[in-house]
Structure 1
Amino acid sequence: LTNDSRLIFKGDGDQILDDAGGNKLSHLVIQKSGGLLYLADTLCITDSVSLVSGNLITADTSVLLLAVAAEVSAGAITSFIDGPVIKVFPVSAIADSFLFPTGDQQDFRPLTVYMTDISTDSLLIRVEQINQSAAGLSTNRINIDKVSEQRYWHIAKEGPGTFSTARVTLTYDTVATGDGVGVGKELRVAYLDTTDVWTWHNLGGEGTKNDAGSIKSNMFSDFASGYFTFGDATGGADISLPVLLSLFDLAEKRGEVTVTWKSESEIDNLYWLVQRKEESDSTAQFETIARVEGRLTTSTATDYSIIDNGVELNRTYAYRLADISTSGRHHFHDPVLITIGLPQTYQLHQNYPNPFNASTTIAYDLPRHSEVHIEIYNIMGQKVATLVNEKQKPGYYKLIWDSTNRQGNPVASGMYFVTIKSEGAKDGKVEQYHKAQKIVLVK
């Protein structure tokens, strides 16, 4: 076998995979009619794992390692990974997720890990489902009544890489397997913090159905290792999502970004943070560009928006929201991307205000490096003022005319004309743009 090999298992009894091409394969297909497939050594898959039928058994010394580009079929009750599996996440990713087709014995419970702001160093996430009582790990609990009597997942970060925030999505079938916790709206994700006297914490979420479904935790911060399971919020504090966000949108116009969002309801929401980072800069971190007061607790929908004029042209940015409670708890929402493009054409926009008193703003667009002349003329065709006379790079521009002439003296009320003459090279040819706009000064 070589690193490019495609290996298919179709046996009807137990089989062992050993010495697989230097512990690396391109494709692995498990399509057994019976029995189990055991890994004898750690195996790296570079392209794909196809789980058709039959389980793959791994262990601490024989882990399945999935490379960055490796894909895995979703798995099923008849075919999943029983034991630890490690996934290599892409470096410098703004956000990425992976579904781990995990199980234990005859119990298939896939788990999804979603992370944001992955560092430039290699980040490996190790996941294993363990069918034992979560209460056996610890009986210490905060804001949660009970934890599963049947199973938990161990998630560990390996390698030097880091991430900013993460969340997990667990699948459940409470009635069939008797986790011993609430269902539906009573269900929560519980997290055992091994650095906090081994205490189970309520990570929020809410079950999608009463019998079988999934539950998505709140976002949490970077960690080294922890245990996750189902919890019961009945009688305990409910820390389900404090804000129900129905809209988060970005719109770009003339080099400015309008950030718009809408909450359907808010619980204990003191304020919002709007954060931004440049996607192409692998070392960039999210920076707060605005703080907006929240509504504390309300069941009424609320619209919010800000304008960000601190971006640069021809770059892609990621924006995200965080809602902050009165106790200081942060909840980060998924980031959204936007690219700030260059102007496509020359354009002189209508001044504003118009008519104006004392001063007015004149905006214009340059799609390429150009020689630019912007001047003010009176109705007699006489030049009153020169506002721009220089070479300028592509971009969106604004300037203010304060209704003074070339000598710095105020001009009289009346009608004037602002003109632009620009000249730039396009495809080796000279491109010229001339335009005049009528403006009215009223004193």
Structure 2
Amino acid sequence: MGEGDPHIHVEVKVVRGEAAVRTMLASTFGLVGDLPSVVTTGCGVRVPYAMTSPRPDRVTCLACREHARAEHLRFADEIERIGSLPGSPVTPPRPGRPRRGTANSRSGSRPAPGAEEKRWHGARTRGYAPPPISPPPLPRSPMSSTTKMHADELDIDTELVSGLVADQFPQWGELPVTRVDSAGTDNAMYRLGDDMVVRLPRLPGGGHQVDYEHRWLPRLAPHLPLAVPEPLAKGEPGRGYALPWGVYGWLDGDNAYDSPITELTDTAVELGRFVAALRAVDATGAPASYRAGPLHVCDDDTRPAIRDLGADGILDATRAIALIDEALRLPHWDRAPVWLHADLLPGNLLTANGRLTAVIDFGCLGAGDPAADTLPAWTLFSGDSRRLFREATEVDEATWERGRAWALRWAVGAVHYYRGGKNPVLTAVGIRAIEEALAGD
């Protein structure tokens, strides 16, 4: 690598596809197409990147970062480009770190001592040293509760929430109301005092989620080995807001996207046991979960999305369609429907000190095929931790393979809809799930 060579390889033991890196650069920084320069990332792939700045600049490779976080490495890969290129059309913004919380997140995480130095560990360049400034910390989930991702989202703000609480629950009317940043797509969250959180559906059809949580969570919680939200009060429509809404107890912790789990093997067992315990609760009278039916129900939407993502180089469309076809030939779930969380994504898992502490957001709660609750196998786990999770869930081979297809189907839908900056968090999680599901292990 010669002086001024733009290819600086930050060595890290992660493997990501070039399509994933391209997608993350496009969705987060708007870098698309055949740009006149390339960089080599920690993934070991060459990625288009251009800039006009005459000084060294830095962009975090979000695809690498996601894999590194999932494997619990305490640093981020960095993409570096030295110098300028005549005619380079794009100047990417430096990534920021907006404050990110969850419906149950009390504070943000901080880098461990020495973490900033570790970010540069393994860099191998000739004639170049890291800049004296510290590299940026891992970005937090860059979405707020009021960022709109859907055309039909309802208008929700702090003034509305304060008014609803004061009108309907005057005993809490003097408590401060603070918006909680979230990458969630279905609910807006607002902190109420120190010990409560208000959740309001974002979409016109979301009122049933509040009803489900308030009816069923108190019945399910005693049977579950992890903490879950405690419904405290259910609000009614008012002040121009047309849906029911809920007040819940606050659970301490940060979500597993922002504060990655470091005890993967323990978490795999604990989360698998949670899934098995939930499945074992009597589901008589339970509503049907919309993610728990046969795969063919979603086939008409999934295949066009696969073709679109394949055309954009994000996935191997032939392999993805083959996996779906194989799953459709598997035996269907022919027993009684069982309880499912149906949305066990990293953003719905709370952590403290690197350990799993709670499961939140039961808006997709319902009964159906247990395959849908194997989703963490491909969004969170790999290798030994995936094997331990599978053992703890106690699902059969056909259910596991249907679960792989469900993970692919969810991920394809998420990436297809939320890419382009609409929701970088779910895009990143979806890309990981696509690659893990197609890897076949």
Instruction: Sort the TM-score into its range (normalised by shorter chain).
Output: under 0.3
Q: TM-score, normalised by structure 1?
A: 0.23
Which structure is higher in strand share?
1
Query: Whose radius of gyration is greater, 1 or 2?
Result: 1
Which structure is higher in helix share?
2
